[in-house]
Amino acid sequence: MSHIIAPSILSANFLALEKDIKMVNDSQAGWLHVDIMDGVFVPNISFGMNIVKQIKKVSTKPLDVHLMIVNPDKYLEEFKRAGANILSVHYEACNHLHRTLDGIRNLDMKTGVAINPHTPISVLEDIISETDVVCMMSVNPGFGGQSFIENTYQKIEQLKELIYKRGSSTAIEVDGGVNIGNYEKLLACGADVLVAGNAVFSAENPAQMINKLSEPVLNYTTV
């Protein structure tokens, strides 16, 4: 399976949001990544369901909605109505993760579980077959433009091994600090989806950057 680039709208120009979304529409991006922050689970506030609804009216790409909020179960139906296609909740925010994933699946959305950089891969052992996507945070969540955490490479390899052992088809998504300098190594380690925010929207030619990150990696070795 070829990998997916999911530009993060959090890094877009909010005064020209429609223009930036249409740029993503015309690019080789596979998904559009939408970060929802509540100022409680993470120390930042982004936007809510109404903005997601407006994004959905313009975007032709599936909306990959990442909930960085407390009590995500309260809002599953609202994000479905807003237009989410993939809905990721944080392991750290869910007391009953199986139930939450069932709720997402029953609303006909792809299920996602996000984990913070300090959270070990082992916590996913009991739910890896229940989720379509694991969103691995490679920065501390809350703000765009942060530096990539190098231990992410090892965690991707550990997660890939767990997926293989369980015979799961779960995709590995990496979110935070993805750029032209590390995307090849991330893919070689086993990543399937790369969330790119600052690398795309601060580029001189964002569409060209998306297309570059979308290119297949040939003969790359992590050794």
What percent of the residues of the chain are helix, what percent strand, and what percent coil, each to the nearest 5? Answer: 40, 20, 40
Phi and psi based region of residue 162 (left: phi greater than 0; alpha: psi -120 to 50; beta: remaining): alpha
- Evaluated on CA atoms 139, 145, 146, 148, the torsion sign reads positive
Asked if 65 and 110 touch (Cβ cutoff 8 Å), the reply is: no
Q: Is 16 exposed, middle or buried (0-12, 13-18, 19+ CB in 10 A)?
A: exposed
Helix (H, G, I), strand (E, B) or coil at 196: strand
> Pick the catalytic residue: 20, 64, 132, 175?
175
CB neighbour class for 53 (10 Å; exposed up to 12, middle 13-18, buried from 19): middle
Exactly one of 20, 35, 38, 192 is catalytic; name it: 35
**Residue 73 annotated to the active site:** no
Angle in degrees, 0-180, between the axes of helices 206-213 and 17-25, rounded to the nearest 10: 40
Q: Report the SS3 class of residue 79.
A: helix
Do 5 and 28 form a contact (C-beta atoms < 8 A)?
yes
Task: Tell me whether residue 175 is one of the annotated catalytic residues.
Answer: yes
**What is the DSSP code (8-state) at residue 180?**
T
Active site residues per annotation: 35, 175
